[in-house]
Amino acid sequence: MPVADSSTKWVDELFTSSIVPTLVDYIKIPNKSAMFDPEWRKNGHMDKAVELLAGWAKQRLPDGATLEVVRLGERTPVIFIDVPGTGGKAGDTVMLYGHLDKQPEMTGWRDGLGPWIPVIEGDKLYGRGGADDGYSIFSSLTAINVLRKDKVPHARCVVLIEACEESGSYDLPAYIDHLAPRIGELSLVVCLDSGCANYDQLWSTTSLRGLVLGNLEVSLLTEGVHSGDGTGVVAASERVIRMLLDRLEDSHTGQIKLAALATQIPKQRVLQAERTAQVIGDEVWNKFPLQPGVQAVSKNNVELILNRTWRPGLAITGAEGWPTIGNAGNVLRPTTKLKLSIRIPPRVDPKAAAAAVKAALEKDPPYGAKVTFDSIGANAGWDAPEMAPWLDQALEAASQRHFGKPAMYMGEGGTIPFMYMLGEKFPKAQFCITGVLGPGSNAHGPNEFLHIPTAKKLTLCVADVLATHAQQP
Ligand SMILES: [Zn+2]
């Protein structure tokens, strides 16, 4: 029994009257993840965000449900909501997961927009963290409340909202251990922190990439010297760093050279990539804010999809040791330091990958340069377990009903560290991973927006999936 037809309007009105206004307040809070705000405890933004979201949820707890803000020592907090089942099997639990910490500001926001400035334009709510992943607690709880309102049975649910995701979820394992007796045995995980390739249908994520993060520092001088004096005698640290990066990546193709960072792509995932390419076509590359005349790295859309989901890729996300251009004298600088963000495919061991990167960068330093690579985090990717037929059918029915189009499956290029942890801990659990991060939504970049109609439809889809889940023998 799915939710009532009238629930579409009910969800619509709740978003308008309450959810979107609360998200507007949420966007104003600069609660950057701990990695980007080491003073987060003192600054108090995270507590303010927790208070706002937990406060909203407390007003709307289903009958019998409890909410606790769990705090283990100095760790980032977790919101934990326990909702007793009205159906489903005894001892069977669904986890609905999301996060409330945010990425840092990033530059390049359009005039009038900004990370902490909520702006509603048509269907879109602009601002940092609305889509990634502030809306998740609202959608998760609302999906359950729709079922309660329509008297549609659901299994016991726990909603877990963490505050450390954008830092690699390093606080989460401790909470999972701590909460294990209260979580119980999971048969289904719903995660609303992922992406969609368009806003026209329900997209399920079948894989996620992992991430190796680290700082590469190269130094040949103990202090800067006149560049007219030094060039030609001492190698520039930036040239040495280019040589080192060439060990990781073919700069002509972007291909990562280290075997430890590659994996065999499963056949089924290649087929899904082919099907996705048929549905979204050039959207795979033209969704990006390209400068006029810029082309993607390949003309083959299937290859592009596989590149961003099942192959490693390097981005340099920060630099130190450089003055700003206005302050740059003619100096051979002593040190160049880069932050490397290396996506790794599912099924690749992140620790082994980080060790391979470190070994490749640090061995035989050119000119005897002082070279260090300090790994600051390594998270595994994730490959979905085989989908149970009931879930496959539930996703299809939900997509047809609420979007009017078939459900689709694809891998995602980003990382949600918790999915791997859950997959390891609950090998029998099914995963429904979806999200609103579609074309242009630009999580982590400037001009991030939440596509409000998609958030509403996803909420209804989750409700229907929970309803079908509770009917399984
Ligand atoms: Zn996220």
User: pLDDT value at position 149?
Assistant: 97
Q: How many residues does the chain have?
A: 473
* Confidence bin at 236 (pLDDT 50/70/90): very high
Rounded CA-CA distance 424/96 in Å is: 17
Percent of the chain residues topping a pLDDT of 70: 100
User: CA–CA separation, 303 vs 277, rounded Å?
Assistant: 9
CA of 5 to the centre of ligand 1 (A): 30
Rounded distance from Cα 166 to ligand 1 centre (Å): 7
Please tell me the predicted confidence (pLDDT) of residue 1. Answer: 74
User: For residue 107, how far is its CA from the centre of ligand 1 (angstroms)?
Assistant: 19
Give the list of residues 6+ apart from residue 68 with CB closer than 8 angstroms, or none: 79, 80, 81
Percent of the chain with pLDDT over 90: 98
Cβ neighbours for 237, distance < 8 A, ≥ 6 positions apart:
218, 219, 220, 221, 321, 333, 334, 335, 336, 369
Distance from Cα 23 to the centre of ligand 1, integer Å: 15
pLDDT at 64 over 80: yes
Average confidence score pLDDT of the chain: 97
Q: How far is the CA of 425 from the centre of ligand 1 (A)?
A: 21
Each residue's pLDDT tens digit, 287-346: 999 999 999 999 999 999 999 999 999 999 999 999 999 999 999 999 999 999 999 999
Burial class (CB in 10 A: 0-12, 13-18, 19+), 408: buried
Strands 92-99 and 185-191, by their bridges, are parallel
Please state the φ and ψ torsions of residue 104, each to the nearest 5 degrees.
Answer: -70, 180
Mean pLDDT value across residues 265-287: 95
Helix or strand holding residue 267 (H, E): helix 267-280
Question: CB count, 10 Å around CB of 58?
Answer: 14
CA of 134 to the centre of ligand 1 (A): 9
What distance in Å separates the CA atoms of residue 249 and residue 266, rounded to the nearest whole number? 23
Distance CA 19, CA 440 (A): 22
Q: Which helix (H) or strand (E) holds 340?
A: strand 335-344
Bigger pLDDT: 425 vs 398:
398
Residue ranges near ligand 1 (ion) with Cβ within 5 Å:
132-133, 193
Distance 102 CA to ligand 1 centre (A): 8
How far away, in angstroms, is 416 Cα from ligand 1 center?
7
CA of 444 to the centre of ligand 1 (A): 9
Q: Which two tokens stand for residue 381?
A: 């990717």
In the reported structure, the alpha carbon of residue 82 is separated from the centroid of ligand 1 by a whole-number distance in angstroms of 22
HEC states along 239-257? Answer: HHHHHHHHHHECCCCCCEC
Q: In the prediction, which pLDDT does 91 show?
A: 87
Closest CA to 348 of 258, 260, 220: 260
Between the CA of 40 and the centroid of ligand 1 the distance, in Å, is 18
164 Cα: distance to centroid of ligand 1 (angstroms):
10
What is the Å distance from ligand 1's center to 133 Cα? 5
Residue 459 has pLDDT above 90, yes or no: yes
Q: What is the pLDDT of residues 6-26, one digit of tens each?
A: 999 999 999 999 999 999 999
Cβ 259 vs Cβ 345: under 8 Å: no
Distance 305 CA to ligand 1 centre (A): 20
- Could you tell me the strand order of the sheet in which 449-451 lies? 119-121, 124-126, 449-451
Q: List, for residues 113-144, the tens digit of each pLDDT value.
A: 999 999 999 999 999 999 999 999 999 999 99
